[in-house]
Amino acid sequence: MTQTNFSEDQSFLASLALAMVEKPRANLNELANAIGVSKATLYRFCRTRNELIERLTNYSSKVLIETIEDSLSDADPSIEALKRLADNLLTHSEFTLFFIHYWQSENPVIQALDQRWTTTLDSFFLRGQQAGLFRIDITAPALTELWISIIIGFIDAEGRGRVARAGLSTLIVTAFLQGTAVGVLSN
């Protein structure tokens, strides 16, 4: 290999994932142009759109599962683990966005991966509830959904310039844990 192969670049995958989320109805030519590459180069990376989705889904879920399991690997749930998770998901924001938007697949492999990280998060929050960290009047699945919503929402908001990137993970953790009301007992 005497030249950099664009399609093996990490940022290639990332911007591709982002483009597919932002323009889900773009044709392959538009998709290629959106990431600064010709249709032929995109074709050399993946011949069909299905291949593209499959490849990005596999990669995204691999990254996400690693990220989640690494971040939450502590024996016991903690605020620190949650902060780590926010930080790490933000550094893979494109794949986080992609997976959330494309997980509605009939592919049993993908469904299994979806199941896996959902279960991991549910279990984290459930154990956190049992440890007295999180309130118990919200179910663990609801905590997972809330957490993911806030992550996705703020990644999106950052992309539209509505919130600053700096301090974003702190903002996420604060919003999730403390909420937005002032100076009253939180429950």
User: Which of DNA, a second copy, none has residue 11 at its interface (CB below 5 to 8 Å by kind)?
Assistant: none
Among residues 33 and 118, whose Cβ is nearest to DNA? 33
**7 is a site residue for DNA (CB under 7 A):** yes
> 78-84, long-range: CB within 8 Å, 24+ apart, which pairs?
78/133, 79/133, 79/173, 79/177, 81/124, 82/173, 82/176, 82/177, 83/169, 83/170, 83/173
x/- binding map, residues 152-181, to a second copy, per CB under 8 A?
Answer: xxx-xx----xx-------x--xxxxxxxx
**24 is a site residue for DNA (CB under 7 A):** no
Distance of alpha carbon 73 from alpha carbon 87, whole angstroms: 15
User: 127 near 121, Cβ under 8 Å?
Assistant: no
| Position among 34, 39, 145, 163 found at the interface with DNA (CB under 7 A) | 39
User: Which of a second copy, DNA, none has residue 90 at its interface (CB below 5 to 8 Å by kind)?
Assistant: none
| Position among 2, 25, 33, 121 found at the interface with a second copy (CB under 8 A) | 25
**37 is a site residue for DNA (CB under 7 A):** yes
- 161 φ/ψ sector (left φ>0, alpha ψ -120 to 50, else beta): left
Cα dihedral: 182, 148, 89, 25 (round 10): -130
| Position among 15, 34, 43, 175 found at the interface with DNA (CB under 7 A) | 43
Q: What one-letter code names the amino acid at 28?
A: L
| Cβ at position 27, least distance to a second copy in Å | 11
Among residues 1 and 182, whose Cβ is nearest to DNA? 1
